[in-house]
């Protein structure tokens, strides 16, 4: 079946522009994660949703970053007034279950490469 999809795959923004990155998780997956991967680094956790509830946003680097998942399916990561340090690959992952005692594999999307000029 279809895996996690993300769009756009590539985004170039001028410094100061707002961007919106979309994630379509695997159908029926309860949990959704966003990670940021800087060049030469591993992914770093940004935020976590269980259905439509954002249970953890501790990894968001500043208040310019905002994520939502209003209907518990598609999620959008929005970055306002982009800065050069925001340049990275943004990965979305989903998993079947929630985190109440279970341990579920996270399935990753292909990522969106954001370049801020």
By CB under 8 A, the residues from 15 to 54 that bind other proteins are 31, 33, 35, 40-45, 48
What is the phi/psi pair of residue 21, to 5°? -115, 135
Query: Closer CB to other proteins, residue 16 or residue 102?
Result: 102
Min. distance of Cβ 110 from other proteins in angstroms? 5
Enumerate residues 6+ apart whose C-beta is below 8 A from 102. Answer: none
Distance CA 68, CA 57 (A): 11
| 111 contributes a contact to other proteins by CB under 8 A | yes
Binding site for other proteins (CB under 8 A): 3-4, 31, 33, 35, 40-45, 48, 55-56, 59, 91, 99, 103, 105-111
């Amino acid at each position: 079946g279809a895996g996690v999809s993300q769009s756009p795959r590539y985004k170039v923004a001028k410094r100061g522009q707002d961007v919106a990155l979309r994630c379509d998780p695997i159908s029926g997956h309860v949990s959704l994660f966003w990670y940021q991967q800087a060049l030469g680094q591993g992914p770093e956790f940004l935020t976590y949703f269980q259905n439509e509830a954002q249970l953890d946003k501790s990894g968001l680097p500043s208040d310019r970053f905002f994520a939502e998942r209003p209907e518990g399916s598609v999620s959008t990561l929005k970055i306002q007034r982009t800065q050069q340090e925001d340049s990275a690959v943004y990965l979305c992952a989903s998993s079947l279950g929630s985190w109440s005692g279970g341990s579920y594999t996270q399935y990753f999307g292909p990522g969106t490469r954001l370049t801020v000029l």
